Structure 1
Amino acid sequence: MERITSAQPPPPPPPCLAKQNPLDMAGIPGMDFPMYVYKPRRGAKRGEDSKDTYKLPHRLIEKKRRDRINECIAQLKDLLPEHLKLSTLGHLEKAVVLELTLKHVKALNSLLEQQQRQIISLQNGMQI
């Protein structure tokens, strides 16, 4: 039997499920849409309908996850000092933004350790 795929949204929930309230997903980040629970019948194999009902929420969840990642990378890019941004030519790819951020954080940690050693040496010098 040949499978026919469709780009249409899944059909509305069956009447027995339509009476139920959707799960409250407001507490989960990125889940601002209702999600209905579809339980397969006992002994029944997963059919095309159950795959379609799974795909739509999964696609939305995955899109929200990608959007959050992209937003965080954009914020990291904004936090980078200008001299690091100018060290690359053209558009900063996501991987480059992450590499430059890592380089910058390591440099800041090194500077912090150096300054802490200076403070300790100055405190020791004043006690003598």
Structure 2
Amino acid sequence: MQQIIEKWRRDRINSSLSELRRLVPTAFEKQGSSKMEKAKILQMTVDHLKMLHAIGDTDA
């Protein structure tokens, strides 16, 4: 039972990482290249969110 739960958890993580890769422009641009590390996808997401946050702060 524990193995099934762990597989389900890993599948959810991988699915979310795939979605982030599609949503973050810099990650999407590199989609054709070799498989991207999970840490790289997360870092690109953080960088993109920081950029959006900075843009939002200047619009106020």
Q: Which runs of 5+ in 2 are unaligned?
A: none
Number of matched residues? 57
Q: Which runs of 5+ in 1 are unaligned?
A: 1-56, 117-128
Instruction: Determine the structure 1 residue equivalent to 2:2.
Output: 58
Over 2 Å off, 4+ runs: none
| Identical-residue share of aligned pairs (%) | 35
Listed one character per residue, the Cα deviations across residues 73-124 of structure 1 (whole Å, up to 9, x for unaligned) are 000000011xx2347x6331111000000000000000000111xxxxxxxx
Higher helix share: 2
Question: Which has the bigger relative contact order, CA under 8 A and spacing at least 6?
Answer: 2
Tell me the TM-score normalized by structure 1: 0.42
User: Which entry has the higher C-alpha Rg, 1 or 2?
Assistant: 1
| Two-structure CA RMSD over aligned residues (Å) | 1.4
Listed one character per residue, the Cα deviations across residues 3-22 of structure 1 (whole Å, up to 9, x for unaligned) are xxxxxxxxxxxxxxxxxxxx
Which structure 2 residues correspond to residues 1-128 of structure 1 after superposition, within 5 A?
57-81=1-25, 84-85=26-27, 86=29, 90-116=34-60
